[in-house]
Amino acid sequence: MIKKFIDKLLGRSDATDKPTLGKRHVIAASVHGIDPQLVDERAVQVVKTLQERGYAAYIVGGAVRDLLMGLSPKDFDVATDATPEEVKSLFRRAFIIGRRFRIVHVVFGRGREHEVIEVSTFRAYLDSADAQQVKGNERSSKSELAGMKHAVDASGRVLRDNVWGPQDEDAARRDFTINAMYYDPLTGDVIDYHGGMKDAQKKLLRMIGDPAVRYREDPVRIIRAVRFAAKLNNLGFKIEPRTAKPLKASVGLLADVPQSRLFDEMLKLLQTGHALASIEQLKTLGMASGIYPLLDVVVERVESDFVHAALQDTDRRVGEGKPVAPSFLLACVLWSDVREGWNERRIKQPPFPALQDAIDEVFDSRIGDVSGRGKLGADMRDIWLMQPRFEKRVGSGPWTLVDHVRFRAAFDFMRLRADVGEVDELLADWWQEFSLANDAAREDLIQQVKSEKPNNAQSVPGKARRAPRRRKPASKASGSEMQTPGDKTQE
């Protein structure tokens, strides 16, 4: 404080002063042209309920960015000056979640159709120098962090961010200018403090404040920069040079970020419809490795036919609004490891235990922490373990396999293998027929296999009878619509 006071008396500028909070600009609906049809009615409902109780409330962040571009946002976030407790009290199905960053999930609908509107309270700008400093990091300082509202580690990384404040401060602590606008769906106004609207027109992804400092506060912003650059690349967006410059040198900061957060960010890179574009961006920005070990593997393998086809298929599905499963994608990415380990072991072991051991080894060496994500790991294992079972089309085998809960994912996986020439395409066609047929037709299909040459019933895994095809457009690459949904990894 004294230093700041003396600096002020001497007229020195102080680098740790509040960043410019920007000037409030109100942009009318007739100017910004957001199509109200693209706005989720449940988000409007949340805003309305809050406003009726006298709180400020807006749709905020990525949803406003996407609406301005004419895109349909994948989710809607709301920002308000009501505290999480106040928000919770206004909705029947609302849950306060998060420690580092407490927010409220307001839930609408049930089952697959359910929708969550994330409501966050305006955050105060707090100088890292004023925050409580914690030794160690998120992982090593859990007990010390309990009860703290705003805490940073020695490098300035934000570990707790739960101090409420006015809207202009909330805007200043958001990441990119195009992510820091507020939309009032009832008046139609957009509130913009940091020139987000201009940057949207200029097609620039610009970090608010000093980019190097902002990456240090929260290194995940490095990955977010890549993701938004990839997502907006085909609209002509570029990362503004000052924002891009410290990216590569900041990658080392990610070492202290909890693995689970990095894993989730990696999935957002790969499963929000821009996987191939994100990998392209990583390469362009000189960050092909070092962000997260599993992501390094994906980047290394993007040129392989199989992984490329899997990523392309995932992008296509997301683009068509179809569900995608992280277990499926990761099973594709790590399949070559499993296959190699399996082939080596099969010299000494029977095929099935050999495959199980190969899978165990891949989990140990490649997945680390993530193997603790019960369902994700179990689903990957199922997909892999079912592959040799597709080769056996005799007796009761096909009947039990087709009833397996993971049949659809395992079949899609096999179809992808067929697409790159790893298994016979006729085998994939046969299973497609079988899975769609009634009981009588299924009997016929099994009879048909019996009457074919003996080695047709048990073809050799890994040896296709036709030459691998080159990559095809994704829409035809898998030929299947069955990639199984439902194992989002936020478990």
Nearest distance in Å: CB 196, ligand ATP:
10
Contact positions with ligand ATP (CB under 6 A) in 121-150: none
Q: Between residues 65 and 417, which has the closer beta carbon with respect to ligand ATP?
A: 65
Nearest distance in Å: CB 87, ligand ATP:
16
Nearest distance in Å: CB 172, ligand ATP:
10
User: What letter would DSSP give residue 405?
Assistant: T
What is the C-alpha to C-alpha distance for residues 327 and 380, in angstroms, rounded to an integer? 5
Does residue 257 sit in helix, strand or coil? Answer: coil
Q: Between residues 218 and 412, which has the closer beta carbon with respect to ligand ATP?
A: 218
Q: Between residues 438 and 490, which has the closer beta carbon with respect to ligand ATP?
A: 490
Question: Is the separation of the CB atoms in 340 and 372 below 8 Å?
Answer: no
Q: Between residues 172 and 380, which has the closer beta carbon with respect to ligand ATP?
A: 172
Q: Between residues 166 and 377, which has the closer beta carbon with respect to ligand ATP?
A: 166
Does residue 174 interact with ligand ATP by CB under 6 A? yes
Does residue 61 interact with ligand ATP by CB under 6 A? yes
Contact positions with Mg ion (CB under 5 A) in 63-82: 75
Q: Between residues 59 and 275, which has the closer beta carbon with respect to Mg ion?
A: 59
C-alpha dihedral over 333, 335, 336, 342, to 10 degrees?
160
What is the C-alpha to C-alpha distance for residues 134 and 136, in angstroms, rounded to an integer? 6
- Which segment (71-79, 197-205, 395-403, 442-450) binds ligand ATP by CB under 6 A? 71-79
Q: Is 154 exposed, middle or buried (0-12, 13-18, 19+ CB in 10 A)?
A: exposed
- Which segment (41-49, 147-155, 216-224, 446-454) binds ligand ATP by CB under 6 A? 216-224
Catalytic residue among 40, 66, 77, 379: 77
Query: Is there a catalytic annotation at residue 487?
Result: no
Q: Between residues 102 and 174, which has the closer beta carbon with respect to ligand ATP?
A: 174
User: What letter would DSSP give residue 105?
Assistant: E
What is the C-alpha to C-alpha distance for residues 212 and 45, in angstroms, rounded to an integer? 38
What is the C-alpha to C-alpha distance for residues 474 and 461, in angstroms, rounded to an integer? 24
- Which segment (125-133, 215-223, 257-265, 456-464) binds ligand ATP by CB under 6 A? 215-223
Question: Is the separation of the CB atoms in 118 and 59 below 8 Å?
Answer: no
Applying CB under 6 A, the site for ligand ATP has a residue count of 12
Query: Is there a catalytic annotation at residue 75?
Result: yes
Binding ligand ATP (rule: CB under 6 A), the pick from 220, 229, 270, 370 is 220
Binding Mg ion (rule: CB under 5 A), the pick from 19, 62, 398, 461 is 62
Nearest distance in Å: CB 180, ligand ATP:
5
What is the C-alpha to C-alpha distance for residues 280 and 139, in angstroms, rounded to an integer? 32
Catalytic residue among 66, 175, 315, 419: 175
User: What letter would DSSP give residue 433?
Assistant: H
Does residue 175 interact with ligand ATP by CB under 6 A? yes
E strands present in 136-260: 150-153, 158-161, 181-183, 190-192, 204-205, 238-239
Does residue 133 sit in helix, strand or coil? Answer: strand
Binding ligand ATP (rule: CB under 6 A), the pick from 157, 221, 274, 393 is 221
Binding ligand ATP (rule: CB under 6 A), the pick from 27, 44, 58, 62 is 62
Cα–Cα nearest to 364, from 343, 385, 341, 388: 341
Contacted entry of Mg ion, ligand ATP, none for residue 180, CB cut-off 5 to 8 Å set by kind: ligand ATP
Q: Which two tokens stand for residue 8?
A: 């002020």
- In the β-sheet with 103-108, what is the strand arrangement from edge to edge? 25-27, 190-192, 181-183, 57-60, 77-80, 115-121, 103-108, 94-97
Q: Which two tokens stand for residue 238?
A: 């570029």
Contacts of 152 (CB under 8 A, 6+ apart): 128, 131, 132, 133, 134, 158, 159, 217
Query: Is there a catalytic annotation at residue 175?
Result: yes
Question: Is the separation of the CB atoms in 101 and 162 below 8 Å?
Answer: yes
Binding ligand ATP (rule: CB under 6 A), the pick from 18, 74, 242, 322 is 74
Positions in the binding site for Mg ion (CB under 5 A): 62, 75
- Which residues carry out catalysis? 75, 77, 175
Instruction: Give the residues lining the site for ligand ATP (CB under 6 A).
Output: 61-62, 74-75, 77, 174-175, 179-180, 218, 220-221
